[in-house]
Amino acid sequence: MAEKGNKGTGRTRTQQLTINAVLAAMAVVLGFMSIRIGNVMKISLEDFPIIFAALLFGPVDGMIVAAVGIFLYQLLSYGITATTVLWILPFVIVGGIAGLYAKRAKFNNSNKQILFIFLVCELLIWALNTGAIYADSKIYGYYYPTIITGMLLIRLVTAVGKGVVLGLISHPVLKALSKVTGNGR
């Protein structure tokens, strides 16, 4: 039985699953290749393949890559905890939002749009992870008011910086990958 292709892209379901698996694996690896400052600050690029999947293939793929990649990272790092879903959710939401934005533009986003997407996604992850830090610290008993406020500005500046850098370098990479994956750009 022949596999059906993905809506005019020429990719089979197996090829699409393979691409998503590679991007999810990249999210796991990039999650481990991070800079940690205490319990409240982690600088990593684990969201990069998630946003890429969303920009290349749409919201469903972005959300799947996020759910699988970040779940595996959380599982390997911390096991299953009461707050595991809170740490996965920001990335799934970002995968969906970035994918919807890309789909709306028929996957032909300009440099400015891609920069905007990355900035919005980084700020959204910053805000949602701040909520996850709060909930996690309350549940596990390490909450102090300064745990949120003390690193808030530094985390915000880091998010904006990541958004700008990733947004600026992404367009040429997306353009090249689009040729390989069959998405027009």
Q: What is the pLDDT of residues 89-122, one digit of tens each?
A: 999 999 999 999 999 988 888 899 999 999 999 9
Dig out the tokens for 19 from the structure: 């691409």
Averaged pLDDT score across all residues of the chain: 89
Q: What is the pLDDT of residues 43-93, one digit of tens each?
A: 899 999 999 999 999 999 999 999 999 999 999 999 999 999 999 999 999
Considering the entire predicted model, what is its pTM?
0.88
How many beta carbons lie within 10 A of that of residue 30, not counting itself?
18
Q: Given this model, what pLDDT does residue 143 score?
A: 87
- Domains defined along the chain, listed by start: 13-33+40-180 (1.10.1760.20)
Q: What is the pLDDT of residues 27-39, one digit of tens each?
A: 999 999 998 877 6
Q: What is the pLDDT of residues 123-158, one digit of tens each?
A: 999 999 999 999 999 999 988 888 788 888 999 999
Q: How far is CA 106 from the centre of its chain?
A: 20
Distance from C-alpha of 103 to C-alpha of 54, rounded to nearest angstrom: 9
H/E stretch holding 164: helix 145-181
Beta bridge partners of 150: none
**Is the CB of residue 30 less than 8 Å from the CB of residue 46?**
yes
